[in-house]
Structure formats: structure tokens, C-alpha cells
Structure 1
Amino acid sequence: MLVHLLRSHPDICSHDEVFSAPGTLGGMTGTYLMKCRAEPDFASYLAAEKDRDPIKFLYKVVLDLQGKKAVCFKLKHDELVLPEYKVLRDEIVNDRDFRIIHLRRENLLRRYLSHYVANRVTGVTLVVRSQTIPEVQPVVLDPHDCKKDFETVLGREKEFAELFAEHPGFSISYEEMIAPDTEKIQSLLEFIGVSRRELTTTTRKLGRDDLREAIANFEELRSYFASSPYSKFFDQT
């Protein structure tokens, strides 16, 4: 959602997950996207260039301002820990000119629920205004899987906070991003180096607001985590 919000700012070129699986190219925006749509062979060419020399592709293509004042692109923690991303990760760590925006979830139960539903139930990660949100029946979550996911997410957040400690950084939660008070978003725009303005997106929220309605064994999970540091996730229903 943040990628799409930033795209609504006239001075920002906001790419999505451009460093996707080998042989593919996704998430590009601006003139590159238009040319890829007009010329399928160009998309194949860019994908090959990305795979051949990801660092050259990063500086020459991804960071091309395309007439804007700032350019952003998305990377996920679960990608950056993979061996095939080591070259890219090391380059970003060593180049202190990169500004790191850390998007996180305050409620890790909601994060895991979203991940579970998208990957095991619907296969849908994004819905825009004209599309229908999939109907999802309440799911049963395994408490051990939840705990493992909570620990993994927090561990990676700590790992990458230390890894990028010398970079300019800005942390924003999903909850802050969608809150009626958009001051945090305005501060983010200042961090990026562009003017303040209202941002918009056509993306729609997936999932139910009430976790009790979304998780069939909510009370079981709540009891399981009652005396743990994760009990707070069950109070934010």
C-alpha cells in the first residue's frame, strides 16, 4: 500500500518489488512500465539485465529519477536474507546514501493472518478499487506457527535495524499509515525530500477488522499467548 500511496506524489517515482525472481520483472513504474507494456521484448531485456548485473541495474534503471525528485523501491526482509540477494544487500549496506524506510506491523497477529490468507487461501495480495475483495471464511491458525512467525519477524527487524544503523532511516507502521491523522505520512515525505501533500491510493483493505471474526480459534490462541510478550496482539481486535 505504501508503494501506491507514494506513487500519488508527483515528485516521487515509486517502484514495487523490482528485484523479483530470476527471469521475471515486476513492480516497475513510470516510463519503464509504459515501454514494457508497449514492447514485451523490452521487459525481457530488463529482466535479463537485472539477473546479469543487479548492481548496474539498480543504479542505471531502478534509481533513474525519470524527471522526479526522489525514487523508491521495495525490498522485503524475507528476500534480503536469501543468498541470491547477498550482492544487492551488501551494496545497499555499503552505500550510506540510501535512505531506509522501514514499514512494519504493530500487531504481528494481523500480519501473520494476512500472510496466511494470501498464501494459503486466496492467493490475493492486492485489490484495487474496481476489483472484488475475496470472501474468506474464518481460518484456524496453529499457535506454534504463530509463535514462530512472531519470533522470525522480530528477529529480522532487529537484524536489519543493526545492518542499516548507519543509514538515514524512517520507521512507519501500517497502522500509522492508514490512521486518520496523516502526520506520520507527512513526516515521511519530508524524510524523502519532497513537499507535503495528501496522498491517495486505489488499493483496498483486505481482511476483517475484528480478529475474532477472522480467526476461528481466536480464544484458543489468546489463552495460549496470555502470559507471553505477544498477548498484546490479542487486545487489539
Structure 2
Amino acid sequence: MRPLFWAGLGSVAGVLLALLGAYSAPFLVLLALFLLFFRRLPFLLFGAFCALFCLNASSRLPQPPPRHISFRYLCLTGRVTSSTPLSGGVRVLVIRGSLPDGTRIAVRLFRRSRSSFPCGTVLKVHGSLSPVQRGSWAWWCGVQGSLSADCVAVVDYVPNLWNTISNIRNVLADEVAQTLPYRARPLMRALIFGQRTALKPQHLSIFSRTGTAHFLAISGIHIAMLVALAFWLLRRLILLRTRILIAMLLC
């Protein structure tokens, strides 16, 4: 029973760590640093960080945009935080910024244009705002509305570390896609880089019906298996201490 117990515990921990890393990677880095210096507190620290994650996530639940700006023409100045390809050569940009009256808002913008707006680009957008559907994927990502823009102007380019990593990933995905046949590009984007949004809805439904949708993403249980395998190999081959191994895997 002991191997099954540790396998189950590792799977649950892998799912929690995957969620934690996807939401806020610095939490994992801080946890790794604490594990290096404190030997007897790994489980206490892990529980504390999970509690912080839950509290932070619950305090940042998406809120609908203010009623006085819905379905109205407005001007938004903000930074591009995400750029995702869609089927048909369309890209969806997530822009987080503010209105002239100081209202903070996060919107998505659909663009069919050859001009690219990498993450970190500060845009000034004029258009009409409509709220996203409550409970949708965009809503859970913190997007409050969709902007139908008539005019988009580049104001500045102020990237941070995460924007730079996202831009490198997007450029790499674009370069790989350019070397492939046109009809295979969306599928390769999904299989290699996890960009499932590039697939058409009918193709996604085929993956769902055949039970192969897990090939398009790495889930928490897969991360748990990989972490457990890496931990076992490093422990057996290099004979490092447990706390050092955990810190290395978290990083």
C-alpha cells in the first residue's frame, strides 16, 4: 500500500503544483528557496503556499465591466499580455489597461492583420465594448469584455520577463509553423506548443470524441508522473538529498 499511497499523494501534489505554477510561477521559486534552507518545514510550507494560492485566486475572481461602459464607444490604453492564434489567420490579444477616467479593465481584441503586436506592446484602442459570457474560458482568465476596435495605435513597447518568454514561444511557434504545410500548421501548433485555439471547432470535437484530447495539452497528472520519474532517477543515479531534489524540480 505504501507505493500506492505515495503515488496518489504525488499525483495530487503534481496537480496542485501545476495549477500553482500556471497561476503564479514566483510562488514555486520561493517555495524552492525555502526548502533549501529549512529542512523540517517542507509540508508546512507547501500547505501555506497552497493556502495563499487559494486565497489569492478567490480574491481575484473576474468581475464584469462597469455597466456605464458596456456597449459604448470608448478609448482604452493598455499593454498586450497575451497573443493567441485562432483558426483562419486571426489572433486574439488580451489587453490590460485603463480608460481615460481611470477605470481598470482587461479586454480581448480579435485582429486579422499582418502587423503583429507582441506581448508588452502598449496600444491605444478605440472601439465598442461588449461583456464576455460569465463562466466562459475568457471570463475565468480575467477578461471582462470583447472590444470591437476601429482604430489601433502603438504607443510604446514595455515588456517584462514573462512577456519576453511569451514572445519567444510565439515566435518559435510561428517559425515552426511556416516550415510545415498550410493544412498541418494548426495541428502542429496544438501538438507541439499546446496552442489548441488554432484548431477549428470541428477538429477539436474529433479529438474529444475519440478520447485523444489529452495529446493537445499536458495535464497535472502528466506533470506528476514526469516529476516522480525525474525524482526517482536523480535519487537513484546521483544520490542527492531529498530537499535539494525537490527544490531543483520546483525550479
Q: TM-score, normalised by structure 1?
A: 0.25
Q: TM-score, normalised by structure 2?
A: 0.24
Higher strand share: 2
